[in-house]
Structure 1
């Protein structure tokens, strides 16, 4: 397989070179013919090829002129595939329910996930390839960072498998991971409460939960009152936020979470 151009390498692009892994990634997203699928960084079309045969409407986003021309030539006769010449950091995201499938550049993984996991996102499911260490951090039982806990409380993040560096061209220095993301049942109406709860817990990780929140509410939602806040997983804080949310006025979400 031809190597990526130098510009692609500098942007952290490593193209998937094993068709079976591309097929597994697409299959894990459970795509139907009525779905809208956003593919970020379509590159040489390794994933686009498998997305096209699902019958779903595919938006293949690519910023490199050379690859845009190749993708347009390769998929121009397939009416369900639209090649979009744009930067995924700036392109408006779909307002209707959509799925995401992508081999994300390591350097842009946080930026892209931050975009698609905002409070107003229409993302329903995703299957993405990210750097192995990054996947382990965001899939930890208790993520280290507040923002990652915000993601994990509203979406189910599952590390499916490790992908060796030799499956990419050019091969990266570290392994990658197949990660799936699925929206859970957390209600949008309780998101303000959730952010307040998470922010409080992450500001005071050593404090017993009972010093931060009502004892009865903690017991109702299965959190031990004496448990240090820094050891409580996001899904438990989500249960507490749902319990506390009705009948109260909560601070607005930060702008970066709404946009």
Structure 2
């Protein structure tokens, strides 16, 4: 993890996870397969790159700090399954083939990176195991997402906190704890029509003032005869739906013979 804010004894804002147990659990949970493509975003000196490479996965170690890049290139010069990429995380091109991410990412870039990884409808991301700031992890795994972006991610990907990682396990220690966050694609989440239904439901809900009744949200997308049937078994108010509920409702709506809204342009590209 790296925070981008200045630090009295750490001007670069770099905090490296040094606990072998936490690292081992991160890799074990990620379960990269042999020849899987894995991105280590913000690789630093290779703390996660090395154990990832030991699994036989193909690892892209992405790092922008020139000193760390030199150390990575020297350390992994004889590892044919590691490629060091000197690139800014905010500008790098993501792979077009299926990939996973195992990384300790900068606190300040957490929302930006998740928007890039989870936002597009056609993202080839398969799964991710991330070390992120504790408060951020708590916010995006809330059973009732507070914004449209988070709801869109959480209804398409199962977001879970695996463990709390105390600040003392980093060198130097940051001012707050971190979390091991897992990201796993939900079944059927890549279906284009289901994604259209989901976006229509969420965009209508989060554009409303207050807490709209679920029936009102559905009435904007289909006729009254279907509203009761589609909402059966779900909460009355839209703001009470969990990501699981939204995913269920989107599948139900997608199965209906109704015209669904197109996805906005920003969700069609990565």
Please report the TM-score for the alignment, with normalisation by the length of structure 1. Answer: 0.91
Which residue in 1 is equivalent to 2:234? 223
Rounded Cα–Cα distance in structure 2 between residues aligned with 1:177 and 1:113: 15
Which residue in 2 is equivalent to 1:243? 252
Residues 42-191 of structure 1 aligned to structure 2 (within 5 Å) = 42-117=43-118, 118-185=120-187, 186-189=189-192, 190-191=194-195
Q: CA deviation at 1:10?
A: 5.6
Q: CA deviation at 1:202?
A: 2.1
* 2:207 is equivalent to residue 196 of structure 1: no
Rounded Cα–Cα distance in structure 2 between residues aligned with 1:35 and 1:249: 38
CA contact (8 A) 1:201 1:212 kept: yes
Residues 244-259 of structure 1 aligned to structure 2 (within 5 Å) = 244-246=253-255, 247-259=257-269
Q: CA deviation at 1:20?
A: 2.1
Rounded Cα–Cα distance in structure 2 between residues aligned with 1:115 and 1:207: 29
Please report the TM-score for the alignment, with normalisation by the length of structure 2. Answer: 0.88
SS at match of 1:20: helix
CA contact (8 A) 1:120 1:258 kept: yes
Q: CA deviation at 1:181?
A: 0.5
CA contact (8 A) 2:121 2:190 kept: no
Rounded Cα–Cα distance in structure 1 between residues aligned with 2:52 and 2:27: 7
After superposition, give the CA deviation of every residue in 1:165-193 in whole Å (9 maximum; x if it has no partner).
Answer: 11112211100000011111124222111
Rounded Cα–Cα distance in structure 2 between residues aligned with 1:249 and 1:111: 32
CA contact (8 A) 2:61 2:85 kept: yes
Which residue in 2 is equivalent to 1:207? 212
Give the CA RMSD over aligned residues.
1.8
Rounded Cα–Cα distance in structure 2 between residues aligned with 1:180 and 1:168: 20
Rounded Cα–Cα distance in structure 2 between residues aligned with 1:18 and 1:231: 39
CA contact (8 A) 1:37 1:57 kept: yes
Q: CA deviation at 1:12?
A: 4.3
SS at match of 1:119: coil
Rounded Cα–Cα distance in structure 2 between residues aligned with 1:129 and 1:88: 15
Q: CA deviation at 1:215?
A: 1.4
CA contact (8 A) 1:165 1:174 kept: yes
Rounded Cα–Cα distance in structure 1 between residues aligned with 2:69 and 2:205: 45
How many positions carry a matched residue from both structures?
250
Which residue in 1 is equivalent to 2:222? none
Which residue in 2 is equivalent to 1:3? none
After superposition, give the CA deviation of every residue in 1:59-94 in whole Å (9 maximum; x if it has no partner).
Answer: 010011110000000011010011111111111111
